[in-house]
Structure 1
Amino acid sequence: MLLLLLLLLITPSTLASECVPRTFQGDSFVCVCNSDYCDLPGVIKVPAAGSHTLITTSRDEHRFSIQNGSNDALPGEGSSVVVTLNHQERFQAMMGFGGAFTDATGINILKLTEESQEWLMKSYFSPEGIEYNLCRVPMAGSDFSTRPYSYDDVEGDVDLVHFNLTTEDYKYKLPFIHRAQELAERELLLFGSPWSPPAWMKENGMFNGSGGLLNEMWQPYADYFVKFVQAYSAEGAPIWGLTTQNEPLTGFQDWRWNTCAWTAEGQRDWIKTTLGPTLQAAGMRHLQLMVLDHNRDALPWYPATILEDPESNQFVDGVAIHWYDDDNTGPEVMSELHSLFEDKFLLYTESCDGWDAAPGERVILGDWYRAESYAANIIDDVNHWSTGWVDWNMALDIDGGPNWAYNFVDSPIIIDEKSSEFYKQPMFYSMGHFSKFIAPGDRLISSTVSSGYEHVRVAAFQHGSTDTASTIVLLNMGEDMETVTVDVRGSQEFVNFVMPAKSIVSVLVNMAATAH
């Protein structure tokens, strides 16, 4: 009995395991995982009333370092940053956070030993890991495949007699989706996104290049969506949602990888006359249908064109957004769109870093700026009505691939086939500060930062229906030595702590008194 008790006390399902750091070319470090060992934050629960838990990740030292403490009865003296919460101002409920089950992700995971594969999957999906729950699935090929392909490459097969899932689904996607389902405590929500229809359905007869869907293929392509949902459901991977087209505006130029051009008016008409009714007739109206799936420089005009029409509006549930133009277009356009269509959710469905870097810098092992960029973007987006944030590839090789169009990018996990190791980038922990500590259903609440500290950003969330338990995520973008003393103020209690320079801190706090 004593041995059993000791085993229970040291089980990895409750205890954290520490990072094994290694420095490469970046200004921070990666955490190294192999067949024998990998760091996991462990199960971290909401603290008891009147107490808090701080989880810190920093450029120079920390990866999910945990500190517990009691709340204070008085505000901190001399605090440089004051964060004020207002639980009475509640906004959107969160759907979740996650990444994409791309072909490249599966190809890279399979380069690892079975033991290392299990560490990686636990790191992303288990209660001991960072608990991803919302994941994207490319419908057939994308640029992060080794070839362009669709689920029906038999020209002229308008009845889709030859529709079938491919080797890529059975080898690189479905096995890891199934393992994620087994590991996850939260429900795994999968949404499908097409990069291109079958090439023979397009005006240019190509997966890439420029050109849209042939008019006579509107119905066959709608049927293609239904077939995809049915096929994945039959394989034990039920689909929660769909986007109508990945980056539809790229198809108006000579694009290097899979695409299909859609004007807003064309998408509106296809949805209301063909796709929407076809999904409804197939008993799939429960699926969350999202439009745009492109950068926010297309807000609000592109989705507004679709949603202003009552016939197409009735079939649309949300607007999918990518981050690739966010440096040029501020988040205010998201609030503008929300004010026009308050019943439609907004969701960030693709983001990655390194996509515009110089050759040789698409992947930077240990880069802190990219982790900071993730956290800053997530905080801005959720504070402007996004219901979650979905990263792109979950695992890439040291070059940022494979990618048949040579469009290499970075990833939160990088796999080194030669050493049989994988590296958790700072981006992995940046994602985890949101995905692990903000559960589906948690609501954004009002939070403000005292003036003069523009380098400190914050987003705060109320857990479920409780009035007292909250998660506050803070980002300190201050330069070297710019540590700040933080005072988080609830209604009658306070949390005081020191936040390192270049750091992310999640504060799990349980106020003993009702917040309103």
Structure 2
Amino acid sequence: MKKFKKKIILGNLLSLMVMACGSSTKNDVTPDLPGPTSGDVTVYITTAARTQEFRKTYVDFGSDVNMSPRTILLNEHVKYQTMDGFGAAITGSTAYNLLKMAQADRTKFLKETFDVNEGMGQSYIRIAIGCSDFSMSEYTLADQSGIENFALQEEEKKYVIPILKEILVINPGIKIMGSPWTPPKWMKVNNLTDLAPHDSWTGGHLNPTYYQDYATYFVKWIQAMKAEGIEIYSITPQNEPLNPLNSASMLMYWDEQRDFVRDALGPKLQQAGITAKIYAYDHNYNYDNISSQEDYPAKIYEDAAAAAYFAGSAYHNYGGDKAELLDIHNKAPEKELVFTETSIGTWNTGQNLGKRLLEDMKEVALGTVNNWCRGVIVWNLMLDSERGPNRDGGCQTCFGAVDISSADYKTIKKNSHYFIIGHLSSVVKPGAVRIGTEGFAEDGVVLAAFKNLDNSYAVVLLNENTADTRITFSDGTNYFGAEIPAQSVVSYTWK
């Protein structure tokens, strides 16, 4: 690593003098402010005040080797996890709203979201296997008793698959995760003692008698999607396995999931030549305060035969703290972590984009990545201005990453989750490795650094302070100084 002199060049010294006197807390840059159209470093800026919304600009490398003491040095010799991608869920409701748009408007939005060259380059999608709580109705892919009755349904064929195909044209390399909210009702029982039929969309348990049939259900779904030109990258055995109250749901305690995957799902996928990753759990950090379910995935990993089928585990943040990710990583460092769901909604009413942008960037985006998550996926990509389509028993108070006006299906409001995902996906590409940083640190400044497969570097940074701050970044060969607006999220990438 190249050594740098501690002498400060005049420009940096003047910047430090200005900051010592105090920086303005007002960010007066307007979204249409002219700026450089090229440079060594590509920069994306979103401010809490919405004066800049994913504004693209550029800065150049410094021309000598003098470093400011406010330098953050990237250390690619310290390596953490490899990144899979970042994105949102394409639910039935999301697909419905997208298809209500005019084709030109929809294509424009999808390119802004998924295009790796001209847009955010979002790279990971989550979809439901059957219905979710944001579907047009409650259904599975085999509502009639008997696995031979498996078939894709109208929601897949009319809404979700057409949208996925449009996205794949824009970004052919996008990863797709599938999660079921419920198996067919004929596979469910009230509990594993009585084994009485549980003819309900909500709650119940998977009848061990149908472990093999349900594993076949997953195989058939992955094969049916492949026949449509859609490769499935990963699955979870059950969405929110500790929540029996969702509009479509089922309880699947850790020992049930262990047995189902070990004895049925894992072997069936293997026999079918399917390489989709299996992630355990897919629920909250706090295990919904059920003491017997604490460390859910770690308990599964204690069974070597079961653990062999799991790539890792997945988490939501509707309860508990992201520190649980680090705890599970420490218990099983060889296993992967992904963050698969979070939502905003009317419970955030009164909190403007700025408050949510800063908190969500700190907790959801950087907070999960800096605790070993390989991917970050938020909930609905798009809902309408009435928070739908939704239905009784599901979330009727959720916002999408973006909300589209139900009056014209054209006017789009972009919410915090759209920006936090975009700030990651725009500069951190699939296959990137999170790397170490050292040097300058400041309260209220949170960041993560990466090296992409093409040898470019990326830094995603949050400045939640009320003052602008200037920081110099160095990869050991090149360096640049950057003025980071107060209460903003900024992404940088350079070769």
User: Which interval holds the TM-score relative to the shorter structure?
Assistant: 0.7 to 0.9
Question: Which of 322, 330, 333 is equivalent to 2:316?
Answer: 322
- The aligned counterpart of 1:221 is 214
Answer yes or no: is 1:496 the counterpart of 2:481. Answer: yes
Contact 1:76 1:496 in 2 (8 A): no
Q: Deviations over 1:321-343 (max 9, x none)?
A: 11222xx3242x32232233233
Tell me the CA shift for residue 489 of structure 1. 3.4
Tell me the CA shift for residue 77 of structure 1. 5.2
Answer yes or no: is 1:288 the counterpart of 2:277. Answer: yes
Q: Deviations over 1:70-108 (max 9, x none)?
A: 2223556585xx433212111111101111120000111
Question: Which of 371, 382, 385 is equivalent to 2:369?
Answer: 382
Letter in 2 for 1:229: I
Letter in 1 for 2:279: M
Answer yes or no: is 1:139 the counterpart of 2:129. Answer: yes
TM-score normalized by the length of structure 2 = 0.84
CA distance 1:300–1:486, change in 2 (3 Å): farther
Answer yes or no: is 1:191 the counterpart of 2:177. Answer: yes
- The aligned counterpart of 1:115 is 104
Tell me the CA shift for residue 200 of structure 1. 2.0
Contact 1:412 1:425 in 2 (8 A): yes
- The aligned counterpart of 1:5 is none
Answer yes or no: is 1:506 the counterpart of 2:495. Answer: no
User: What is the CA–CA distance in structure 1 between the aligned matches of 2:476 and 2:332, rounded to whole Å?
Assistant: 33
CA distance 1:76–1:498, change in 2 (3 Å): farther
User: What is the CA–CA distance in structure 1 between the aligned matches of 2:494 and 2:175, rounded to whole Å?
Assistant: 27
Tell me the CA shift for residue 434 of structure 1. 0.5
User: What is the CA–CA distance in structure 1 between the aligned matches of 2:215 and 2:347, rounded to whole Å?
Assistant: 34
* Aligned 1:371-450 pairs, distance under 5 A: 371-376=357-362, 377-404=364-391, 405-407=393-395, 408-427=397-416, 428-448=418-438, 450=440
Letter in 2 for 1:454: D
3-state SS of paired residue (1:446)? strand
Answer yes or no: is 1:153 the counterpart of 2:138. Answer: no
User: What is the CA–CA distance in structure 2 between the aligned matches of 1:150 and 1:400, rounded to whole Å?
Assistant: 23
Tell me the CA shift for residue 206 of structure 1. 4.2
CA distance 1:54–1:124, change in 2 (3 Å): closer
Tell me the CA shift for residue 294 of structure 1. 0.8
Answer yes or no: is 1:166 the counterpart of 2:159. Answer: no
- The aligned counterpart of 1:304 is 298
Tell me the CA shift for residue 440 of structure 1. 0.6
* Aligned 1:89-100 pairs, distance under 5 A: 89-100=78-89
- The aligned counterpart of 2:16 is none
Tell me the CA shift for residue 273 of structure 1. 1.2
- The aligned counterpart of 1:348 is 339
3-state SS of paired residue (2:148)? coil
CA distance 1:506–1:70, change in 2 (3 Å): same
Unaligned runs of 5+ in 2: 1-26, 191-197, 288-292
Unaligned runs of 5+ in 1: 1-27, 33-38, 511-516
Q: Deviations over 1:289-309 (max 9, x none)?
A: 111111122497100111111
Question: Which of 220, 237, 244 is equivalent to 1:244?
Answer: 237
User: What is the CA–CA distance in structure 2 between the aligned matches of 1:187 and 1:218, rounded to whole Å?
Assistant: 32
Answer yes or no: is 1:474 the counterpart of 2:461. Answer: yes
User: What is the CA–CA distance in structure 1 between the aligned matches of 2:267 and 2:170, rounded to whole Å?
Assistant: 36
User: What is the CA–CA distance in structure 1 between the aligned matches of 2:353 and 2:200, rounded to whole Å?
Assistant: 34
User: What is the CA–CA distance in structure 1 between the aligned matches of 2:131 and 2:66, rounded to whole Å?
Assistant: 55
CA distance 1:238–1:487, change in 2 (3 Å): same
- How much identity, in percent, do the aligned residues show? 29
Answer yes or no: is 1:272 the counterpart of 2:262. Answer: yes
TM-score normalized by the length of structure 1 = 0.81
